[in-house]
Amino acid sequence: MDGATVASLPLLDRRQGLAFLGGLALTGCATAGGIAPAGAAGPVPAAPGSLAATASARGRRFGSAVAWGRPGADRGSFANPAYAALLKRDCTLLVAENEMKWQALRPAADRYAFDRFDAIMAWSDASGMVMRGHNLLWHQDKWLPRWLFSHSFGTDPAAEGRRLIVDHIDTVCARYGTRIPSYDVVNEAVRPDDGGLYDTPLSRAIGSAEATIDLAFRTARAAAPQAELVYNDYMSWEPGNGAHRDGVLRLLRGFRERDVPVDALGIQSHLVTQSDAADGGAAALTDDWRRFVDAVVAMDYRLLITELDVRDNNLPADPAVRDRVVAGYARAYLDVMLAYPQLRDVLAWGMCDRYSWIEGFEARSDGAPRRPCPYDAQFRAKPLRDAINASLEAAAPLPA
């Protein structure tokens, strides 16, 4: 990382970049913004032998999604000791799986429900982890709360649309201050089939999807000036994602042309194996994918892997075979990604197969339970965990 690169980072990262240049290990930055909440333990070093420790030795960070749950409930929650142990074992970064989304946080136009996210945040602080914000606007009808569809936008719909967004982002960012150093400001705004932008009641009121998305970023920059602002989407390297990738590139280019404050692309990385080859068919995908990522970083965006998991498609039911190929596929993918010095953070979308969303999203056609995460349903480490560790270990240390 040279001086110019450091200067272009948001404040928090600039400090970290300078700390790194000074030879200090990066182990977390939960309170690097300076305001620690009462009772927070502050950043903890990554546990010895953890994925986070391997990442930290290379100037990177590793983390996972976490859900809310009642104490002891069998969920992928901080309040489930078995799941919490996996988080503490391997992570220094966290992201709430659902609890910061509009559907969870905003039960009515002018009412917020922070209890569940607050509980996750408090556990994160007490554990010395760094929390990512996911997300401030998931710009699709399907993921917005139902009240929005019967909301009265009044005589000046554009003003009311803007008010709803600004109120949301201001309220969330003010509540968490510097405790959240990175936000997925806008999530999945690009249509995968043709690369256009989704409309929602908000963009219809405001008059343009582009203006709506721009407003979200500009509002976030003003409300959380220290935070890294991320556009997050799932355009992936598998076949069939070309239009989605092109649409994301167009959006990212537009941000730069319109001077919209966006720091990074969040590459969700919900991966899908292609074949039973040792690398899951990854080799055939890398050239196109590198062209995409090269184009992103050429526009001066940083990168995050925000939601890593692997669907074991095109593979027999035998768990040993699936686990092996999934690991080979993820290894190949992470090796490509970690060659980019713009990539610091890698987050899994859940650590344990038992709680993964993938089963509900796309079950296997043969009914065999999915195995998308680093740990199996009995909390045992799988080859995928080894693969992540090996890729992190092989990554060039930052700065490149």
Binding site for ligand XIL (CB under 6 A): 97-98, 187, 234, 268, 307, 357
State which residue, 187 or 391, has the beta carbon closest to ligand XIL.
187
In sequence order, the β-bridge partners of residue 62 are: 346
Q: How far is the CB of 98 from ligand XIL (least distance, A)?
A: 5
Whole-angstrom Cα distance, residue 137 to residue 144?
A: 8
Whole-angstrom Cα distance, residue 293 to residue 245?
A: 10
**304 burial level (CB within 10 Å; 0-12, 13-18, 19+):** buried
Whole-angstrom Cα distance, residue 247 to residue 270?
A: 18
Q: How far is the CB of 356 from ligand XIL (least distance, A)?
A: 8
State which residue, 68 or 255, has the beta carbon closest to ligand XIL.
68
> What is the number of the residue whose Cβ is closest to ligand XIL?
357
Both tokens of 336, joined, read 């490509």
Q: How far is the CB of 48 from ligand XIL (least distance, A)?
A: 30
Q: How far is the CB of 136 from ligand XIL (least distance, A)?
A: 12
Q: How far is the CB of 307 from ligand XIL (least distance, A)?
A: 6
State which residue, 117 or 234, has the beta carbon closest to ligand XIL.
234
Whole-angstrom Cα distance, residue 78 to residue 126?
A: 11
Q: How far is the CB of 320 from ligand XIL (least distance, A)?
A: 27
State which residue, 98 or 208, has the beta carbon closest to ligand XIL.
98
Burial 116-145 (b: 16+ CB within 10 A, else e): bbebbbebbbebbbbbbbbbbbbbeeebbb
State which residue, 92 or 268, has the beta carbon closest to ligand XIL.
268
State which residue, 97 or 345, has the beta carbon closest to ligand XIL.
97
H/E element, 319 = helix 319-338
DSSP secondary structure string, 4-38?
HHHHTS-HHHHHHHHHHHTTPPP---TTTTS-PPT
